[in-house]
Amino acid sequence: MVVGLFMFPILWSMPLAMLTAEMSCMIPESGGHVLWVYRAFGPFWAFVNSCFAFACAVLDNAMYPALFVDYLSTLIYEGKNAISYGWSVVLKVLLILIVTALNILGVNIVGMYRFIPIPNFTICQQSQLQSKWIMI
């Protein structure tokens, strides 16, 4: 398990970062992967790629409010999912509204608050950490 945590950035993230850097330098225009696919395969496949990317982003981002409420419930009630369905919906909608407001306010304010969850999650999970994860 620990070996996988160290190998994942090398085998997946590093080649993806290098590919993105190379393509961005080669085609210095806004558009990202949709523009790259358009230039390589034409307008139809660029459209298909953009539709798949949009669907992936919608489905991926839809799970974060649910994960937030589930983690919050585990943190507050120590493993028992005690937050009712009504309150979980309220919390999910509230989280979506907060994130939407931050995005509407602009990139600068989002950049100021991007690292806030990382220390909070790290501190909260220290008590949940089991010793067998530390052993190699």
Number of H helices and E strands in the chain, helices first, is: 8, 0
Same structural domain for residues 73 and 117?
yes
Could you give the number of structural domains in the chain? Answer: 2
- Using a 10 angstrom Cβ sphere, with 0-12 exposed, 13-18 middle and 19 or more buried, the burial of residue 50 is middle
Same structural domain for residues 14 and 66?
no
Q: What mean pLDDT is predicted for residues 110-130?
A: 68
Q: What is the pLDDT of residues 45-100, one digit of tens each?
A: 999 999 999 998 888 888 888 888 888 888 787 766 678 888 889 999 998 898 88
Same structural domain for residues 73 and 119?
yes
Same structural domain for residues 19 and 64?
no
Give domain status of residue 45, yes or no: no
Same structural domain for residues 19 and 80?
no
pLDDT band at 44 (very low <50, low <70, confident <90, very high): very high
Same structural domain for residues 130 and 71?
yes
Say how far apart CA 125 and CA 80 lie, in whole Å. 16
**Which range marks the domain in which residue 81 is found?**
60-134
Same structural domain for residues 71 and 122?
yes
Same structural domain for residues 129 and 66?
yes
pLDDT band at 134 (very low <50, low <70, confident <90, very high): low
Give domain status of residue 39, yes or no: no
| pLDDT score of 103 more than 60 | yes
Same structural domain for residues 71 and 117?
yes
Q: What is the CA radius of gyration of the chain?
A: 20
Q: What is the share, in percent, of the chain residues with pLDDT greater than 70?
A: 79
pLDDT of 8: 80
